[in-house]
Amino acid sequence: MPNKVKVATVWLDGCSGCHMSFLDIDGVLLDIADRIDLVYSPLVDNKVFPDMVDLTLVEGGVSSVDDRAKIIKIRKHTKLLLSLGDCAITGNVPAMRNRYPVAAIEERAYIENADVNQHAPNLIVPELLPQIQPVHTVVPVDIYLPGCPPPGPVIRDALVALLNGEMPNISPRFG
């Protein structure tokens, strides 16, 4: 039996809808289960990104210092990086904050709209970058699958093509 393809998925600043769409192809995931190893993902219990992964699907834009550190590390340890969904590719809804300074956003979220404990977080929650950036403006990206979320069949076709050693030839639409 040939070595399994090591696949990872990452969740940066997105709503996890892309991961839901990924799970929506459950039938296909079962079919290809013997060909892939899901080595790192919000869906599996592995906290450390492995040494080398064949394919990483990234959902969400780069929004915090933590996101940035994560994606830079992941790029170094991934052969193919796939931007999954509009947030990773354009910034999408989370990027609507890009028109306002971080201080104003924190003021709105943690003070104006808070009933108790009115203060911005200073522990655990990673510091926000001034603007959310699409993943490919931070690290090189090999494949783009737009959509909010990308429809299940699109993710399926892309995965199957990649497993067969081909680049996916699909251009789904934004939104």
Partner 1 sequence: MPVKTFKIDGQDVSGREDETVLDIARENNVFLPTLCNIEGLKPVGACRLCMVEVKGSNKLLPACVTKVEEGMEVTTNSERLQKYRRMILEMLFVEGNHVCSVCVANGHCELQWLAEKLGVDHTRLNYMFPKKEIDVSHYRYAIDHNRCVLCTRCVRVCGEIEGAHTWDVSGRGINAKVVTDLNTPWALSETCTECGKCIQVCPTGALFKKSRAVGEMTKDDHFLPYLKTMREVDNAE
- Residue 29 or residue 64: which is nearer to partner 1 going by CB? 64
Regarding 60 and contact with partner 1 (CB under 8 A), the answer is: no
Each residue of 6-45: b (16+ CB within 10 Å) or e? bbbbbbbbbbebbbebbebbeebbeebeebbbebbbeeee
Regarding 144 and contact with partner 1 (CB under 8 A), the answer is: yes
> In the structure, how many helices (H) and strands (E) does the chain have?
6, 7
**Measured from the CB of residue 10, what is the shortest distance to partner 1 in angstroms?**
17
Query: How many CA atoms within 13 Å lie on the side-chain side of 102?
Result: 11
- Residue 118 or residue 137: which is nearer to partner 1 going by CB? 137
Q: Which of 13, 54, 59, 86 binds partner 1 (CB under 8 A)?
A: 86
Residues of this chain that bind partner 1 (CB under 8 A): 83, 86, 89-93, 95-96, 98-99, 131, 134, 136-137, 141, 144-146, 148, 171-175
